Amino acid sequence: MKNTGNKIENIVIVGGGTTGWMAAAYLVKALQGSVAITLIESDQIPTLGVGEATVPSIRTEFFDFLEIPESEWMPQCNGTFKIGIKYADWSYTPHTTKNNEFYHIFGESKKYDDIPLTHYWLKKRLDGYDLSMSDCCYSSTAVCEFNKSPKFLDGTTGVNYAYHFDANLLAKFLASWTVKKGVVRVVDKVVNVILDNTGAIDFLKTEKGNTHKADLYIDCSGFQGLLINQALKEPFISYSDSLLCDAAVAIPVKTDNIDGLRPYTIATALSSGWSWEIPLYGRLGRGYVYSQKFISPDEAEQELRKFHGSIADDIPAKHLKMRVGRNEHSWVKNCVSLGIASGFIEPLESTGIYFIYAALKHLIRYFPDKSMNPALKDKYNERIAFMVDDVRDFIVLHYCTTHREDTPFWKANKFDLKIPDTLKRLLEVYQAGAPINLPYTDEGGYNNVFDAGFDRFWTNSNYMAILGGMNHLPNSASPILNHKPESVNKAEKIFKAIKDNTKNLLDELPSHYEYIKNLYLNQKSSDEIYSYTSVKKNEIREIDSWLKVKVS
């Protein structure tokens, strides 16, 4: 008979919000009800509620894993689709050039002859071709431009997508869903963390005079790091020398979104940071991520209000400070920190919620027994550190490749940032013309020596979207293309196929608003909705005109 006396029997999660309830939902599903889970959340501590955009892996790695369909959770969370991010005024000083917008579209580009299509485009671009990488290599850019849904009315997928949603509403939805699965919710505030003689957490004391004891503690207490930092004294590694933004101000704006429900996030560079615009069903999430070294909170709020105009009048703003970086170790003793309590990077690429479920996936992969085997902890910590550092490098890329130097903030980003050595090496390879961070393949394993044994999240197509959009081009295209004229000709056929697919998608996809409305109301058949939202003659003319300019 197997000895199961050492197995984890109970888990206490400290902190609710998006992180806590995502953790509870994931763990109750992954552990198949074999562990008693208690979540303690205070009704006195407000949640941040600004991490409202996501990346595509949330579909398979979280919602599909939990077996919760879009029709069940999206209407409860004001959810909409997200196909990518539109960047405005990042490349150059505003009003100095017409080409100061670009998209970061989801999904890996196609390949031919084991060379990414992005690098066939790069050769064309260096030879004088003017079309952007996202227009040339993806149909999704046009889908964004015309506010189309990424899905057809029968529910099948046309282009890759993620979600926008109200993070506070998602937390409430998951709380209800999770409690029904057996998780115990305790409304109380942890006021004291008692350690045992080994330095591990023994038990917790709450404001109401209760005690809670567990085999494993999950710290979801946000920036305060109640367990991991305050009680266990784990050091925090700051990224402030590489990422200057350390604060944010948010203003939610109500809107009906009927004709202009965008299927993408907008990130607009301002004087001392950048503004986000996230379209939810019924409101816009708007805010300003900035550096307090260059602008005060009051000045940032005024700049944000001026940027958005009268639509933001009389709406109270919410200010917060950000701790940018990560814990030296995310798992210490019998405590695992998740979400903001573990690490945080400004939400430029919507990675905050990704950090939560990606860490949970690793936790299940290296799930311990009561002995807290150091080998499992070490491997988990190694992977989490790599994950956060990898995102740091990608966000730094957005700042160190800008051509802007019109304000002290942008000048500091261009000239004074500490560029991580890992990013420097990638940029050296890029400048030589070769693809960087090629994704994992079954045939060849990881195609980058630095990636061996790790899950590299940002791949060649992601890097090319930012580098190409910033017009930060290498000295030459990949030298091997000079020896592959037939492959270059074949790639042209792929570009043509993408153009044809773009036209078909624009003709057949419903508008983003109508698909979401149908999903929410669920009152009409697909045929009725399609008849109502079929492409109008004037829209067809607009599409044809756009295609002549963009894809000719």
Annotated binding site: 82, 190, 349, 353
Which are the contacts of 419, defined by CB distance < 8 A and separation ≥ 6? 242, 396, 400, 427
Cα angle 227, 384, 359 (rounded to 5 degrees) comes to 75
Could you tell me the two tokens for 396? Answer: 């730094």
User: Would you name the residues annotated as active-site residues?
Assistant: 82
Q: d(Cα 217, Cα 331) in Å, to the nearest integer?
A: 10
Q: Where do runs of H (alpha helix) occur along 295-404?
A: 297-308, 352-365, 374-400
- What is the token pair recorded at 508? 């057949």
Answer whether 398's CB lies under 8 Å from 466's CB: yes
Of the CA atoms within 13 Å of residue 22, those in its CB half-sphere come to 25
CA distance 71 to 516: 10
Cβ neighbours of residue 65 under 8 Å, at least 6 residues apart? 26, 29, 30
- Extract the annotated binding site for FAD: 190, 353
Straight-line distance from the first to the last Cα atom of the chain, in angstroms, rounded to the nearest whole number: 70
- Rounded Cα distance, 21 and 251, in Å: 25
171, HSE (Cβ side, Cα atoms, 13 Å): 22
CA distances from 69 to 60, 62, 74, 113, 258 (A): 11, 11, 8, 38, 24
CB atoms within 10 A of CB 439: 18
